[in-house]
Structure 1
Amino acid sequence: MARIPLDQPLAFPILIGDIGGTNARFSLVVDPYAEPRDFPIVHTADFATIGDAIQAAVMDKSSLQPRSAILAVAGPIRGDEIPLTNCDWVVKPRDMIAHLGLVDVIVINDFEAQALAIANMPDEFREPIGDRPDKMLASRVVLGPGTGLGVAGLVHAEERWIPVPGEGGHIDVGPRTARDYEVFPHIKTIEGRVAAEQILCGRGMVNLYNAICAADGIAPKPYEPKDVSQHGLDGTDRQAVETLTLFATYLGRLAGDMAMVFMARGGVYLAGGISQKILPALKKPEFRAAFEDKAPHTKLLEAIPTYVVTHPLAALAGLSSFARTPTRFGLALDGRRWRV
């Protein structure tokens, strides 16, 4: 693949897409000034390939045909065939160029799109946790507990935003309090490790609930993540209530760790479906207390604001920002851009 400079612009209209394991969301950016045109959500299981989905959901529904595409996918981007982590689709940019009339395709990590989104997230789509004001145009972090646990940094340097994807959801976490030491021995491990994603995602929430029940010597109920969060929020299950308390605590600890790694004075943002659903639990004291409890750097953490992202299409908003003004961002595209 030839090296293509970032300053070589994409051709409008630009198709943007957020491809998850269950759903795919598409919008069309007509020009740098128009609001994106959204299309109905697509269920990935309904289509054999991403090309079929784009043809049916976008091409067949619009007189404006995209010339370029920017796709955010959950999966490693290596080579010309990109398998998705939780979906049978394989993204093949060269095939998309050949069969969909596109001249330019960019594929990035799904949490890079979330990082792009928090560069300029309007106040109406970010719910503050605590009363620390957003004072600085500075580096940021986004964490997304959902099906898994995504983490990305957004570094501000030389008047540009530089997204930094990674696998922060898989770092080790461990016990600190006496109650932690009672619960942690019962948490399911990955080859002996308790990684953050073993606790801070949908299945992780169930894992944590089951561990609390084991520590209490009772049989867990056959809950799904939504059951744990619902019973925890309405107070109808004591172990579910503690699950949300500890979930908020452990998420606060991890968020504080990531804030220190990236020196995220511009704020830490919680994305993903779970953050919005358990917002009342995150607004209780435990999250901020754990976030700030980073001696000898407590004062640093106290000054960093934290938010829950409430935008319904945050990843698409981030992709739209990049499509309209790519020079605002330092997005590494080597090996991730295909062009006619």
Structure 2
Amino acid sequence: MSSDTDSGLTFPILIGDIGGTNARFALLVDAYAEPKLFPIIPTTNYESIEEALQTSILDKTSVQPRSAIIAVAGPVKGDDIPLTNAGWVIKPKDMLTALSLEDVIIINDFEAQALAITAIGEDGREQIGPGSILPSASCAVLGPGTGLGVAGLVHAQHAWIPVPGEGGHVDVGPRTERDHEIWPFLEPIEGRISAEQLLCGRGIMNIYRAVCESSARDPHLADPAAVSSQALAGQDAEAVETISLFSTYLGRVAGDMAMIFMARGGVFLAGGISQKILPALKKPAFRAAFEDKAPHSLLLKSMPTFVVTHPTAALSGLAAYARTPSRFGVATEGRRWRS
């Protein structure tokens, strides 16, 4: 592995996972300590990451970090890093100065979710359907949340290498008769339906409105939480169909990613939505769609799928990397700033 994959950060290390809605932080005092978790921070409550960290975390702890590893929801390019689904622009040079840090590494949030697969263990995940993990085989991670994150995890040269990307923006098309009925009512983005237009919080509402409008019914439920809860309770027919279709579409995209990464090490569904609709994902729709990949259905059937249930999986992944960077191939070139 090249030298730019060795973090060599100085403890204490601040680790953070910044999504489109919330930011989660913890402090890693040394290589042996468990991360000290801080309260979740809504990103809309603060103008910048520096303000959020200073007022909500650093002012409330006597142990001040010397380094930071931050995972962000968006591609990391240049000195100004805008979040894809939130208002913050991460400026590592400003972080060094404002927070008196020596070193800052910024990676993609789903790199952190991929790193977490090596750290969470069986008690941090729940399997859906058949299949078994092939040790040291590639994995795929998908996370429906504010958006749809996708990453791979491959094993090479005795290290786990996370593979970030923007796989959540691949095209999705109709397959079944019901798909063709509702597709004209889906809201596109710049003329197309991407996976993220269906498989995230707003995607649930996109599907729900299309289901209702295709049947000339009033879409009276106001938000994804209402649709999900009504569906799981079986109290609203359109909500039930929405979450069933959501599970189907998630299964299709998960199966696509499983084939791209040859994920015999497992496909992992991260993020809050997957946990909240776990009972629906356990029904036949998700796994049937995942395996429906002729001529490779038998291959897909052998690949296990999991919902990540660990409450702070990304932070666990970052902590694992911070403790033993030599276990991982995380390239830091162009993504590391020093004071």
Q: Same fold (TM over 0.5)?
A: yes
One-letter amino acid of the counterpart of residue 107, structure 1: I
- Alpha-carbon distance between aligned partners in 1 of 2:35 and 2:221, rounded to the nearest angstrom: 42
Is 2:130–2:301's contact at 8 Å kept on the other side of the alignment? no
Q: 1:23 Cα deviation (Å)?
A: 2.1
Name whichever of 64-73 and 17-26 sits farther off: 17-26
Matching of residue 21 in structure 1 with residue 20 in structure 2? yes
Matching of residue 266 in structure 1 with residue 265 in structure 2? yes
- Alpha-carbon distance between aligned partners in 2 of 1:4 and 1:59, rounded to the nearest angstrom: 31
TM-score (norm 1): 0.95
2:96 corresponds in structure 1 to 97
Deviations 1:111-146 (A, max 9, x none): 111111112321111011014232432110110111
1:294 corresponds in structure 2 to 293
1:251 corresponds in structure 2 to 250
Which runs of no fewer than 5 residues in structure 2 stay unpaired?
Answer: none
Identity, in percent, stands at 64
Describe the SS at the equivalent of 1:114. helix
Q: 1:82 Cα deviation (Å)?
A: 1.7
Q: 1:83 Cα deviation (Å)?
A: 2.1
Q: 1:191 Cα deviation (Å)?
A: 2.4
> How has the CA–CA distance of structure 1 residues 327 and 181 changed in structure 2, closer, same or farther, with 3 Å as cutoff?
same
Deviations 1:240-293 (A, max 9, x none): 111111111111111011000000000000011110111011000111111111
The correspondence of residues 1-340 of structure 1 with structure 2, limited to 5 A, is: 5-7=4-6, 9-340=8-339
Is 2:21–2:146's contact at 8 Å kept on the other side of the alignment? no
> How has the CA–CA distance of structure 1 residues 200 and 285 changed in structure 2, closer, same or farther, with 3 Å as cutoff?
same
Describe the SS at the equivalent of 2:8. coil
Q: 1:231 Cα deviation (Å)?
A: 1.2
- Alpha-carbon distance between aligned partners in 2 of 1:147 and 1:227, rounded to the nearest angstrom: 16
One-letter amino acid of the counterpart of residue 284, structure 1: K
- Alpha-carbon distance between aligned partners in 1 of 2:157 and 2:143, rounded to the nearest angstrom: 27
- Alpha-carbon distance between aligned partners in 1 of 2:130 and 2:91, rounded to the nearest angstrom: 46
Is 2:7–2:325's contact at 8 Å kept on the other side of the alignment? no
Q: 1:222 Cα deviation (Å)?
A: 4.0
Q: 1:220 Cα deviation (Å)?
A: 1.9
How many residues end up aligned between the 2 structures?
A: 338
TM-score (norm 2): 0.95
Q: 1:10 Cα deviation (Å)?
A: 0.6
- Alpha-carbon distance between aligned partners in 2 of 1:99 and 1:201, rounded to the nearest angstrom: 34
Describe the SS at the equivalent of 1:119. coil
> How has the CA–CA distance of structure 1 residues 203 and 45 changed in structure 2, closer, same or farther, with 3 Å as cutoff?
closer
Which runs of no fewer than 5 residues in structure 1 stay unpaired?
Answer: none
- Alpha-carbon distance between aligned partners in 2 of 1:330 and 1:158, rounded to the nearest angstrom: 9
One-letter amino acid of the counterpart of residue 68, structure 1: S
- Alpha-carbon distance between aligned partners in 2 of 1:316 and 1:88, rounded to the nearest angstrom: 22
- Alpha-carbon distance between aligned partners in 1 of 2:6 and 2:231, rounded to the nearest angstrom: 50
> How has the CA–CA distance of structure 1 residues 158 and 234 changed in structure 2, closer, same or farther, with 3 Å as cutoff?
same
Q: 1:8 Cα deviation (Å)?
A: 5.6
Q: 1:188 Cα deviation (Å)?
A: 1.3
One-letter amino acid of the counterpart of residue 286, structure 2: F
Is 1:4–1:337's contact at 8 Å kept on the other side of the alignment? no
Q: 1:75 Cα deviation (Å)?
A: 2.4
Deviations 1:156-187 (A, max 9, x none): 11221111111111111111111111121221
- Alpha-carbon distance between aligned partners in 1 of 2:12 and 2:292, rounded to the nearest angstrom: 48
Deviations 1:285-308 (A, max 9, x none): 111111111111111111100000
